[in-house]
Amino acid sequence: MNEGVVAFVTYPQNTENDVQDFIQGILEARLAACINMMPVNSRYWWQGNLEADQEFLLVIKTTHDKIQKLEEWILKHHPYQVPEFVVLPTVYITQKYAQWLTHETHIPE
């Protein structure tokens, strides 16, 4: 069975309509089965300056075989020059949830 993974992506909070379209695009492409969106306060270094922004943290649930295509999609559609794309393997996932992830990320023919 394909392994479930979780990807983290941040998105600017001042563009709520855009983030909804961004999420919808990922889901319609079947690159994820579920995406959670949470507001976060981010502090980070960017081009030598310490920055502070309000962002959305997207927690993207998908399968290992979708990582490369998900990364390509994000790099093409994300407004940042260097978008966050961090993928973590799951330590444990129930069999039914793993089956659901695999089923929902499969593109019907």
Q: 26-51: per-residue pLDDT in tens?
A: 999 999 999 999 999 999 999 999 99
Asked if 64 and 2 touch (Cβ cutoff 8 Å), the reply is yes
**What region, left, alpha or beta, does residue 48 occupy, with left being phi > 0 and alpha being psi -120 to 50 degrees?**
left
Res 1 pLDDT > 80: no
Q: What is the mean pLDDT of residues 8-24?
A: 90
Q: What is the pLDDT of residue 15?
A: 72
Whole-angstrom distance, CA of residue 44 vs CA of residue 109: 43
Which of the four pLDDT bands, split at 50, 70 and 90, describes residue 14?
A: confident
Res 76 pLDDT > 60: yes
Q: What is the pLDDT of residue 16?
A: 65
DSSP conformation class of 5: E
Domains of the chain: 4-104 (3.30.70.120)
Residue with tokens 């310490």: 50
Which of the four pLDDT bands, split at 50, 70 and 90, describes residue 108?
A: confident
